[in-house]
Amino acid sequence: RKEVEQDPGPFNVPEGATVAFNCTYSNSASQSFFWYRQDCRKEPKLLMSVYSSGNEDGRFTAQLNRASQYISLLIRDSKLSDSATYLCVVNMAGSARQLTFGSGTQLTVLP
């Protein structure tokens, strides 16, 4: 089983749609969680951290369910510029500063 698993997609949605991505992680003692965004042929960039209480940044909402070892990202009112690959990232327990990246979910927002 992969340490961090994501549905690779692709997700093709119309502009203005709401889309949700899910991610599961294997190590129940994992401590930090993030969503990164990677545009085609670019580097990954931190989108947002994920907190136990859930957090929101504009149109983006991240949720963490520790009991189910599940992370989600919700994008409301999607824009063409949201088209990218979204990477679920986990700091596994005992791995100090190392982050483990999921393989990413590809999103295309269509006009």
CB of 24 to other proteins, least distance (A): 16
Of the pair 18, 31, the CB lying nearest other proteins is at: 31
46 binds other proteins (CB under 8 A): yes
Residue from 32, 55, 72, 108 binding other proteins (CB under 8 A) = 32
Of positions 22, 26, 49, 55, contacts other proteins by CB under 8 A: 49
Could you tell me whether strands 4-6 and 55-57 are parallel, antiparallel, or unpaired per DSSP bridges?
A: unpaired
CB of 35 to other proteins, least distance (A): 10
- Tell which one of 26, 44, 69, 76 touches other proteins (CB under 8 A): 44
Q: What are the C-alpha distances in Å from 1 to residues 4, 33, 58?
A: 9, 19, 34
Q: Give the rounded distance of the alpha carbon of 78 from its chain centre.
A: 15
User: Is 93 strand, coil or helix?
Assistant: coil
Q: Rule CB under 8 A: is residue 43 a binding residue for other proteins? A: yes
Cα distances (angstroms) measured from residue 34 to each of 1, 14, 73: 20, 26, 10
